[in-house]
Amino acid sequence: MHDRILHIHMNDIKPFNEWNGQKQNIEKIRTATHVKRREIWWADLGINVGHEQDGGGPHFERPVIVLKVFGNETCLVAPLTSAQGDTPFHFDLEEYGYRSRIIVTQLRIISTKRMSRSIERLDLRTFTALMGVIKKMNGFL
């Protein structure tokens, strides 16, 4: 039998318990927020597993773009990042006058209760280009 030593760095431990408390407050206190396609919002995405995009700061927030709305309570979003680099997994908004990138491989359906505040609405030309990339990359929508 081989003994296995597990080394865990403090930076590798995610604050799941803190996020769980925050998530319970969101569920209990917030009501569904009316969102529209193309809008960019700060959303409480929380702490996630593996390489799924986490929210940051005390509210575990991250900007997201609303891709599709399903009724009043859920929507399909893609997270934004300010991280730079040449990757086919990001839609670069710089050529459209923004300083962010959209992570097109991390689409997810979330409750609109997670939306905390609106940032702006993406113009139609940029949104159409984004949706073209998402359709090509993900093979749907």
Let me know if residue 4 belongs to a domain.
Answer: no
Using pLDDT thresholds of 50, 70 and 90, give the confidence band for residue 39.
very high
Give residue 15's pLDDT. 58
pLDDT of residue 8: 41
With respect to residue 91, please indicate whether it lies within any of the assigned structural domains.
yes
Q: 39: which strand partners? A: 121
Distances (CA, A) of 110 to 1, 14, 46, 60, 61: 45, 21, 11, 14, 13
In a domain, 124, yes or no: yes
Mean pLDDT calculated for residue range 74-102: 84
Q: Burial level of 53, CB count in 10 A (0-12/13-18/19+)? A: middle
Contact 47, 55 (CB under 8 A): yes
Show the domain range for 75: 10-138
CATH no. for residue 44? 2.30.30.110
Count of domains for the chain: 1
